[in-house]
Amino acid sequence: DIVMTQSPTSMSISVGDRVTMNCKASQNVGSNVDWYQQKTGQSPKLLIYKASNRYTGVPDRFTGSGSGTDFTFTISNMQAEDLAVYYCMQSNSYPNTFGAGTKLELK
C-alpha cells in the first residue's frame, strides 16, 4: 500500500497566518491527490482535487500543489473557521490511502 506521510502533525496558528502543510507519498502517485477538511464532529469536506484544483465553492485562500511524491496544501490567510484537521488522500492505486492528518489549533 502507498503510505501518505503528512507533516506536521499539528500546528499552532493565529488568524491571518499563512499555513503550509505537506504530504509525501511512498511512491509516485502522479497528480492523484485530494485534500479534505474535517471539523470536529463533522464529515470530511473536499477542498482540493487532483493536487491543485479547487472544488466548487471553496475559497481561494485554499491552494494545493505538487505531483509525483510531494504535495503541499496552503491556507493563505487563516480564518477562525479553518480550524480543523486536514487530510490528504491518494487515489492513484488501490487501496486509496489517507495521510494521518494535520491538526490546526489556535496559538
Nearest to 62 by CA among 53, 72, 75, 50: 75
Minimum distance of other proteins from residue 91's CB (angstroms):
7
DSSP 24: E
- Phi and psi torsions of 35, nearest 5°: -120, 135
CB 30 within 8 A of CB 18: no
All three cell numbers of 36, joined, read 479534505
Least distance (Å) between residue 75 CB and other proteins: 20
Kind of pairing between the strands at 10-13 and 102-106: parallel
CB of 46 to other proteins, least distance (A): 5
Among 8, 27, 50, 65, binds other proteins (CB under 8 A): 50
Decide if residue 39 touches other proteins (CB under 8 A).
Answer: no
Q: Which stretch binds other proteins (CB under 8 A): 17-25, 66-74, 75-83, 88-96?
A: 88-96
Site residues for other proteins per CB under 8 A: 32, 34, 36, 43-46, 49-50, 53, 55, 87, 89, 91, 94-101
